Amino acid sequence: MASVSMTTAADLVGRMGTRAAPLVIDVRRRAAFAESERVIAGACWRDHREAATWGRALPRGRDIVVYCVHGHEVSAAACAELQALGLAAKVLADGFEGFVAAGGPTLLRAAMPAPWPERPTRWVTRERPKIDRLACPWLIRRFVDPQAAIYYVDPGRVPEIATELDAVPFDVDGVAYAHRGELCSFDTFLDLLGLEDPSLRHVARIVCGADTARLDLEPQCAGVLAISLGIAASFADDHEALEAGMLLYDSLYAWTRRARHETHNWPPVPRERAA
């Protein structure tokens, strides 16, 4: 077998939660996948022996990472098939076990809604999103299912449309993915999916404070509230608002991970003094 390109767990973790994140495909043998309690956040499962078939449906021009248990022959075989199709595929070095050891975010497989992983998931909530209903779809698209369909509908029709479309309702009364006490729906998603990531938990506090009028939870809560209300006031189309919200939460997540301790001084220090 010809050599295949590799990527590391650190590189994959560094790109997760962004628009530039690769498409992640779990190609562990069916038995290993079924026995495992977890999957890498945002991954879908496919049979490695059929990569030449399902690979034809993958998007061109997007980076792809495939992983098996240890990053050996199973993922290498799938990657070789994808590369033969002209796709930018790489094998995750050290596989799933290495990713977990590196502290990469994973999901509880049993928490994923059926019929995942056979098709993309569907999620439905109330129309006119502002905070939680922008933040939760961002979380779904970035860490649960990049291909997920999000539906915004009349509040009174959420249950019937969820049933008709076989979709998961969220951020409405009486469903699993909703507010719990002082916590908002974003927190509930993290809890039910078993998605543990310190940066996501930080984002969750900001979202919760903005969404529940507790702006003292984090200094950024008031800013997220103002920007979210501005997004809602700028777009009549809910999905256009979601696109703007995706950029907001991409940026907020990147700030929690890489720029939280950066400061911005004014007036700027003159170059000669800085030297």
Mean pLDDT on 87-108: 95
Kindly state the percentage of the chain with pLDDT values over 90. 87
Give me the domains of the chain, ranges plus CATH numbers.
Answer: 6-110 (3.40.250.10), 121-259 (no CATH)
What does pLDDT average to over the chain?
A: 94
**What are 150-159's pLDDT values in tens digits?**
999 999 999 9
Residue 161 has pLDDT above 60, yes or no: yes
How much is the pLDDT for 272?
Answer: 63
Alpha-carbon distance 112 to 53, whole Å?
24
Query: What DSSP element (H or E) covers 149?
Result: strand 149-153
Kindly state the percentage of the chain with pLDDT values over 70. 97
Residue with tokens 């969820």: 162
Residue 138 has pLDDT above 60, yes or no: yes
How much is the pLDDT for 1?
Answer: 47
How much is the pLDDT for 191?
Answer: 97
**What are 190-217's pLDDT values in tens digits?**
999 999 899 999 999 999 999 999 999 9
How much is the pLDDT for 273?
Answer: 56
**What are 121-133's pLDDT values in tens digits?**
999 999 999 999 9
Q: Where are the alpha helices (DSSP H) in the chain?
A: 9-15, 30-35, 51-54, 73-84, 95-101, 132-139, 158-165, 185-193, 198-211, 221-234, 238-254, 271-274
DSSP secondary structure string, 156-218?
A: GGHHHHHHHHT-EEBSSTTSSBS-BTTB-HHHHHHHHHT---HHHHHHHHHHHHHHTT-TTSS
Residue 262 has pLDDT above 90, yes or no: no
